[in-house]
Amino acid sequence: MARTFFHLHLISDATGETLIAVSRAVIAQYDAVESIEHLYPFVRSASQLEKAIDEIDEAPGVVLFTLVDKDLAQRLVAACHELNVPCHSVLQPISDVFRAYLGSPGAARPGAQHMLNAYYFNRVEALNYTMLHDDGQTADDYEAADILLLGVSRTSKTPTSIYLANRGYKTANVPIIPNVPLPKAIFRLQKPLIVGLVTSADRLVAVRQQRLDSSQTRFDSTYVDPVAVNEEVVQSRRLFAHYGWPVIDVTRRSIEEAAAAIINLYKAHRAKLGLLEHPR
- Tens of pLDDT, residue by residue over 113-156, are 555 566 777 888 999 999 999 999 998 899 999 999 999 999 99
Q: Of 39, 61, 62, which is closest to residue 52 (Cα–Cα)?
A: 39
Q: Is 267 annotated as a binding residue?
A: no
The answer to whether 160 is a known ligand-binding residue is: no
Average pLDDT over residues 203-226: 85
**Is 124 marked within a binding site?**
no
Would the pLDDT of 98 be above 90? no
Nearest to 193 by CA among 176, 171, 177, 175: 171
What pLDDT shows up at residue 260? 92
The answer to whether 156 is annotated as binding is yes
- Structural domains of the chain, with CATH: 4-114 (3.40.50.2300), 118-272 (3.40.50)
Average pLDDT of the segment spanning 83-88: 97
What percent of the chain is predicted at pLDDT more than 90? 71
pLDDT tens-digit readout, 223-278 = 999 999 999 999 999 999 999 999 999 999 999 999 999 999 999 999 888 886 65
Residue 15 among known ligand-binding residues? no
| Nearest alpha carbon to residue 245 among 139, 151, 172, 145 | 151
Residues in the chain: 280
Is 221 annotated as a binding-site member?
Answer: no
Asked whether the predicted pLDDT for residue 165 surpasses 90, the reply is yes
pTM of the predicted protein model: 0.68
Highest-confidence segment of 22-26, 58-62, 221-225: 58-62
Shortest CA distance to 259 belongs to which of 141, 191, 157? Answer: 157
Work out the average pLDDT over 67-73: 93
Is there a binding annotation on residue 184?
A: no
pLDDT reported for residue 111: 57
